[in-house]
Amino acid sequence: MRKIALVFAAVFFFLTGCAAKEDTSVIIYTSTEDFRTEHMRALLGERFPAYSITIQTLSTGNHAAKLRAEGTATEADIVLNLETSYMEAVKDILADLSDFDTSEFLPELVPEHKKYLPWDKSSGVIAVDRTRLESRGVSAPQDYDDLLSPEYKGLLSMPNPKSSATGYMFLVSLVNLKGEDRAFDYFDAFAENVLQFTSSGSGPVNALLQGEAAIALGMTLTAVDAINNRKASFDMTFFRSGAPYNTSSMGIIMGKEEKPAVREVFEFIMTKVVRDDKDLYCPEAIFKNQTNSIDNYPKVILYADMTGSLDLERKEYLLSRWKY
């Protein structure tokens, strides 16, 4: 009997040991830029060296489509930096986060249902290579209508709203500013001057860095990173109508919140990783009493009217009208 008991005990500990090992795997879907993702990867690796944490980077459109197609059967445990309108659309597959402490977040960014929490608030900026413009005898634009001037032909770059949340926020801000039909007429004329509608939000700033464009409608955080870390010398400006912006969010796939490793990793993300991300890359406020100490990041930003930006039905309609 003693021998049987010892064999049973050995099998029991073997099986429970295997289960515990399997339970330390965590899969994260994210749409963060590479430099932000790598910092997150380093923080998670340092904090959870025994865990198997996989981070899959997806474009915003692919990220949303993948979640909508896979539902709760998705391999992802945690979703990060997905545009909030898409998070709202898939909230039925997200876990209730009410038992996490959300008191440090700005209350207006935390939905009543608490199926997701804010990851960031990110503005759009007009980045200008003045040196290149001056070499062509062209002055810097002062507002959106200036961008329609023939002198800017082939010098503009903007993200495509169909594939980029950054592109969509520029589209929404112009629709709210001018009205729907006038805004689409505007983009018909604007497209005549565009070198490229890029697939990602970072594309226009990269086009400036490579000398391909002189004016980029891009992300403030990407422009600041280029200035601070890549020695770019272009200027940033916000037009009088205000800076477009969007928010992205984070959450846990329903059912995965029961997994201890997932809860641990998510809590670390919402208390440490997201704080680091704000301190280092995207300081626009999502927390109470949040400060901005990033060199060259604008301290005061007048935001544009973004009414309706979280309405997914409206988004699908507006994108159906986009033809570039």
For 178-225, write each residue's pLDDT tens digit. 999 999 999 999 999 999 999 988 999 999 999 999 999 999 999 999
Percent of the residues in the chain that have a pLDDT greater than 70, as a whole number: 93
Whether 18 shows a pLDDT value over 70: the answer reads no
* Residue 51 DSSP label: S
CA distance 283 to 294: 7
Domain 122-245+299-321 -> CATH class:
alpha beta
Q: So what's the pLDDT on residue 20?
A: 46
Q: Do domains 2-121+247-280 and 122-245+299-321 have the same CATH topology?
A: yes
Bigger pLDDT: 322 vs 163: 322
DSSP string, 202-263: THHHHHHHTTS-SEEEEEHHHHHHHHHHS----EEE--TT-B-EEEEEEEEBTTGGGSHHHH
- Residue 133 is predicted with a pLDDT of 96
2-121+247-280 classified as CATH 1.20.1630.10: no
Average pLDDT, rounded, for the chain: 92
Q: Using the predicted structure, report yes or no on whether residue 22 has a pLDDT greater than 70.
A: no
The 10s digit of each residue's pLDDT in 94-119 is: 999 999 999 999 999 999 999 999 99
* Residue 249: φ, ψ to 5°: -135, 175
- According to DSSP, the β-strands at 117-128 and 245-252 are antiparallel
Quote the pTM value: 0.82
Q: Please report, for the chain, the start and end positions of each structural domain, with discontinuous segments joined by +.
A: 2-121+247-280, 122-245+299-321
